[in-house]
Amino acid sequence: MLNQSSKKTIKDILKGVDVEINGSRPWDIQVKNEDFYSRILAGGSLALGESYMDGSWECRAIDQLIVKFLSANLDKKIRPTGSFLRALFKAWLFNQQRKSKAHEIGEKHYDIGNDLYKNMLGQSLNYSCGYWRKAKILDQAQIDKMDLICKKLELEPDMTLLDIGCGWGSLAKFAAEKYKAKVVGITVSKEQAKLAQELNKGLDVEIRLEDYRDIKEKFDRVVSVGMFEHVGAKNYRTYFRAAGRVLKNNGLFLLHTIAGNRSAANTDSWIDKYIFPNSLLPSAKQITSAYEGIFRLEDWHNFGPDYDKTLMAWHENFNRNWDKIKDNYSQRFKRMWNYYLLACAGSFRAGKNQLWQIVFRKIDSIEVGYESIR
């Protein structure tokens, strides 16, 4: 009786968002295990992802399904009170992104295999949103993104550039080769650092396994691409102070980050558990509060829809190249990774996530003037 009641409840909810159980459309859900219904009601988004990983349901177009869910705010309507409150309590009480935990994201996500990322990300090894204004393919979109960043930074030969969260060193390599900059890249991933050092061999590029809070030198320019999502609200002010401390007066800092439309204290429970532990998407309010008195805003550029295209291209690469890497990963991992890429694509398509490039200028006098009137 309990399972029948759960089944009716879920079917009624889905009917309101144009999703059918065992329907024929790409976004319809095919239920393989009847426990699916009670499991979703009890576990919300975490259970939705886990039950897909377990094979309890199928869907030909998860990205389209997620668009329908998020457009109808189902993530707010089906949310287990107990686990949600625990997540909020954990976020408020503890600093999940404190320095002692800085390398955790590297170990749990970025260190799971360079073979995976080489076969998913394309030739440039950029694990961030491409810029698709003119590009028709992923590799060109990533080149255009890196060029856009360097132009916004007004990068010139022999300028020193700090890349906070340098990944596999793609932007460092591009800046050193095309713009003749002297680059220091930092990452908390051992595997990223190892490959980035190999890819930048012979260039004026230094790759370090280091936390952003430990940098001491001064740089002409600072850039951070796809790293701010791991900083956490409790550390936003510390992060901007760190960037301001190492940037020379009148220098430019470009922040490239995924963002949310509203301020939040915690992330989606499935993403937190399986993909990006301790992550958090910032809001515009949280960013502006954090940089005030340290930087002057120069430019704010949103191209969130481009991340939908980027994620779908990664999804295509991942599945086309699966046979090359399948001996290193389980079928459950494959289902998890597909769900991650397609659910994120759907989130950008629904407008729930944004992609911002923000340019700041360092003016030493701002901090003094601001602090003096507090």
Task: Please state, as a whole number, how many other Cβ atoms lie within 10 Å of the Cβ of residue 88.
Answer: 13
Q: Which two tokens stand for residue 169?
A: 């060193």
DSSP string, 48-74: HHHHHHTTSEE-S-HHHHHHHHHHTTH
CA–CA distance, 16 with 254 (Å, rounded to integer): 42
Q: Cα dihedral sign for 360, 141, 337, 109?
A: negative
CA–CA distance, 258 with 354 (Å, rounded to integer): 6
What's the first-to-final CA gap in the chain, in angstroms? 62
Cα–Cα distances in Å, from 209 out to 106, 216, 283?
10, 14, 28
Which of 59, 150, 166, 344 is an active site residue?
344
CA–CA distance, 185 with 204 (Å, rounded to integer): 11
Active site residue 344: yes
Q: Cα dihedral sign for 309, 310, 311, 316?
A: positive
Measured in whole angstroms, the distance separating CA 97 from the mean position of its chain's CA atoms is: 15
Cα–Cα distances in Å, from 99 out to 102, 105, 255, 277?
5, 12, 20, 14
Please list the active-site residues: 344
